[in-house]
Chains A and B, each alone.
Chain A
Amino acid sequence: MSLQKKTLNRYRQYFPQETLRETSARTGIQITRVFRLFNGKTMKVGELEAFEAAVNLRIAENPNMTLLSEAVESAGAILTNEELAKVTDYIQRKVKARSFSRMYIRNDYSNASIA
């Protein structure tokens, strides 16, 4: 995966519900340009930095994120493979449970009429 794709995917993970307009406001990149970038147009270095900066700002809002990164590094060095699997599974379960609660509006066709 290219660095650009990785950066955009990472950005989407941190701001999953964001509209193009909000992304534009957050990164300072024009809305039409944001649309193009998400559709595969090649990024300039400055734009890449803007996306990275937005993600880093979000990470900085949550001080436990740094602690988690440090803990993961120590865990990788010290824990057994079996323990690492348990920790990974624990984190994945937490993430999965939360991802189920992301808003998804069901289409309501109950009052729909066929034209």
Chain B
Amino acid sequence: MKGLSSLERAVLECLGKKSLTYDEVQGQSGLHENVCFNILQALIIRGIIATDGMRYRISENLSPLIMEEINGMNAKLAESLEIIEAVLDQAEGRNFKFAKIAMDTRDEKIFLAMLSNLESFLLDAHKKSEAAVPLKERKVVFWGVGQVSTLMHQMIRGK
């Protein structure tokens, strides 16, 4: 498997540029104790994070090869799929809408403008509360749009 799993990514995002103790990582990620510990160990083995025995931090001078593996497009797409699937599988409080909408050109432009507004709103909201809201309390939001015929052809072509 290339890249990171979304669980590993969550731990890395908690660490960011800081160095944290195990309890801090666990508190911020909201992961179960054993899961958190196993992920930290897996990341240490891969050389992505380092520890002095008490605190964990992202390794300095990660090779470009590892950086590409972690942040490459394919790895990120696979991670997104993992999270989207988890949202779909949510047992409680699931909020997911999927529809094939008929839109004329004018409505499509309005819709894309609204998406752009939504994106700016989310970016602002994130900037405002980033420091105060730990990773485990953040919300996963995703959106996307495609034309049915293009998507169908893509599926048939196998891409």
Q: From DSSP, what is the main secondary structure of chain B's interface residues?
A: helix
Q: How far is the CB of A4 from chain B (nearest CB, A)?
A: 28
Find B34's partner among A79, A96, A97, A104 (CB 8 Å cutoff).
A104
Interface contact A101-B34, CB-CB below 8 Å = yes
| Residues 64-115 of A contacting B (Cβ, < 8 Å) | 79-80, 82-83, 86, 89-90, 92-93, 96-97, 99-106
Q: How far is the CB of A112 from chain B (nearest CB, A)?
A: 15
In the complex, the answer to whether A90 meets B81 with C-beta atoms within 8 Å is yes
Q: Is the CB of B82 within 8 A of A93?
A: yes
B158 touches A101 (CB 8 A): no
B2 to A, closest residue via Cβ: A89
Looking across the interface, which residue of chain B has its beta carbon closest to that of A79? B158
Segment at the interface with A among B12-20, B37-45, B103-111, B112-120: B37-45
A100 and B38 form a contact (CB under 8 A): yes
The binding surface of chain A is classed by DSSP as helix
CA distance A82 to B5 in the complex (A): 19
B158 and A97 contact, CB distance less than 8 A: no
CA distance A50 to B81 in the complex (A): 40
A83 proximity list for chain B (CB < 8 A): 158
Compute how far the CA of A36 lies from the CA of B110 in the bound complex, rounded to whole angstroms.
72
A104 touches B5 (CB 8 A): no
Complex A-B: 19 CB contacts under 8 Å: A80-B158, A80-B159, A82-B158, A82-B159, A86-B78, A90-B78, A90-B81, A93-B5, A93-B82, A96-B1, A96-B5, A99-B38, A100-B7, A100-B42, A101-B32, A101-B34, A103-B34, A105-B34, A106-B33
4 more A-B contacts (CB under 8 A) besides A86-B78, A106-B37? A79-B158, A90-B78, A96-B1, A99-B38
List residues of B whose CB falls within 8 A of some A CB: 1-2, 5-7, 32-35, 37-39, 42, 78, 81-82, 158-159
